[in-house]
């Protein structure tokens, strides 16, 4: 943290090649008095709209500013009139995809002690943030680069520490916060071929050598928070169990299984690619894509998966309240937990991308009486330095 800074500026942008299409955001923080760039980030989002990418750029900028100068006055500059007017309170937020992002941005703002203002600027003046977003889309950068003081020697390993430590031990009005570090399993033979791979009723492949190497990198990345981790919770599916064993051994944490965090069952689609299902069973895939209540190939629907995932979350929040828990799971359960944390509709799952061996962090606090739980997203789809997967569009 740089406590001597009095005023900082965040510049942010986001873009989508297709709207929606391949998307990324760029953000930077600089000293308002000297113009020195203190931190910058360019990161891909998978498939998203321009507006979602712009909001994610704002959130990234606010997050970096909170790390560097939480007490300084802050000016946010963006060329998105929509985001600037909505965050200034002048325009209503009508689109469902925007509301949870605006809530997350407001949470970061209200945690600051300094003032926060929003300024619209012409696109031609926002070239730095725009460049960061395009470099991410072109595979030239991913994640945060720190340029300030002690932070310049930190990499993404400390970033994950900060995201977890930010809520560890903190007590909200409703009680202590429970933090979940969500880890997707490493690659399998079906992952490489982009084939449907479900839960316990599926072919249940194990990790490849590449998948094990991916998970070892994640385990090393998480090692600095080992003392804070209460337990590693694993889906009982083979690829997650194998991943969780690597993580638990590296962290020195106990390992337990939770069936509720298993992957969606894809029924007769298991082992097939999307193209194969589309060619062989076009009616089935059309019905599945058009409804959250239709199961693929006789398997589970998104609604059914949501119910068991949230039931499992309830059990975890009860048994590990106020602790940090590593949950090793799959695409659908992790995206379900993230959507629940930010109060997004379940259909938001279709707008998220999640890489193998990626890390996301969400936190939950239970209100007095235990009838309502509030969540927040701290980190999404991050990977350890050197993993490289987010830089290769062929792996998305």
Where in the sequence numbering do the catalytic residues fall? Answer: 185, 263
Q: Name every residue whose Cβ is closer than 8 Å to that of residue 341 and which is 6 or more positions away in sequence.
A: 362, 363, 364, 375, 376, 377
CB 328 within 8 A of CB 231: no
Q: Among 49, 34, 54, which Cα is nearest to 132's? A: 54
Distance between CA atoms of 203 and 193, rounded to whole angstroms? 14
Burial of 213 (0-12, 13-18, 19+ CB in 10 A): middle
Count the Cβ atoms, other than its own, within 10 Å of residue 92.
8
Among 6, 86, 91, smallest CA distance to 54 is for: 86
Query: Alpha carbon 322 to chain centroid distance?
Result: 21
Q: Which two tokens stand for residue 120?
A: 């619209």
**Cα dihedral 303→309→315→320 (10° resolution):** -140
- As to burial, measured by CB atoms within 10 angstroms (0-12 exposed, 13-18 middle, 19+ buried), residue 84 is buried
What gap in Å lies between CA 12 and CA 76, rounded to an integer? Answer: 8
339, containing H or E segment: helix 331-341
CA angle 82, 85, 90 (to 5 degrees): 130
Length, in residues, of the chain: 396
């Amino acid at each position: 943290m740089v406590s001597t800074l009095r005023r900082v500026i965040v510049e942010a942008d986001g873009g989508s090649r297709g709207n929606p299409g391949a998307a990324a955001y760029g953000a930077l923080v600089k000293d308002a008095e000297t113009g020195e760039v203190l931190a910058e980030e360019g990161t891909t989002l998978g498939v998203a709209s321009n507006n979602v990418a712009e909001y994610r750029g704002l959130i990234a900028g606010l997050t970096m500013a909170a790390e560097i100068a939480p007490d300084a006055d802050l000016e946010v500059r963006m060329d998105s009139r929509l985001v600037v007017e909505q965050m200034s309170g002048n325009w209503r937020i009508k689109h469902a995809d925007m509301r949870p992002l605006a809530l997350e941005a407001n949470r970061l703002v209200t945690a600051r002690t300094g003032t926060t203002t929003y300024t619209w600027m012409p696109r031609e003046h926002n070239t730095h943030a725009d460049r960061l977003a395009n470099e991410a889309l072109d595979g030239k950068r991913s994640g945060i680069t720190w340029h300030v003081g002690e932070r310049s020697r930190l990499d993404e390993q400390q970033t994950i520490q900060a995201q977890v430590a930010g809520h560890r031990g903190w007590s909200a009005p409703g009680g202590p916060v429970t933090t979940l570090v969500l880890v997707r399993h490493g690659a399998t033979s079906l992952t490489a071929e982009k084939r449907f791979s479900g839960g316990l009723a599926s072919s249940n492949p194990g990790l490849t050598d590449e998948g094990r190497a991916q998970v070892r990198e994640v385990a090393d990345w998480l090692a600095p928070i080992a003392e804070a981790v209460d337990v590693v919770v694993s889906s009982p599916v083979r690829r997650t169990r194998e991943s969780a064993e690597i993580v638990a051994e590296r962290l020195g944490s106990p390992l337990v299984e939770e069936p509720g965090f298993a992957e969606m069952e894809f029924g007769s689609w298991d082992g097939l690619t999307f193209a194969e299902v589309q060619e062989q069973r076009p009616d089935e895939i059309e019905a599945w894509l058009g409804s959250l209540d239709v199961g693929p190939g006789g398997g589970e629907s998104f609604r059914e998966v949501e119910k068991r995932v949230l039931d499992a979350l309830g059990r975890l929040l009860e048994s590990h309240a106020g602790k940090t828990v590593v949950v090793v799971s799959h695409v659908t359960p992790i995206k379900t937990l993230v959507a629940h944390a930010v109060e997004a509709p379940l259909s938001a799952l279709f707008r998220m991308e999640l890489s193998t061996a990626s890390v996301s962090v969400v936190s939950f606090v239970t209100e007095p009486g235990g009838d309502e739980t509030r969540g927040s997203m701290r980190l999404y789809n991050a990977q350890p330095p050197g993993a490289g997967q987010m830089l290769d569009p062929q792996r998305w």
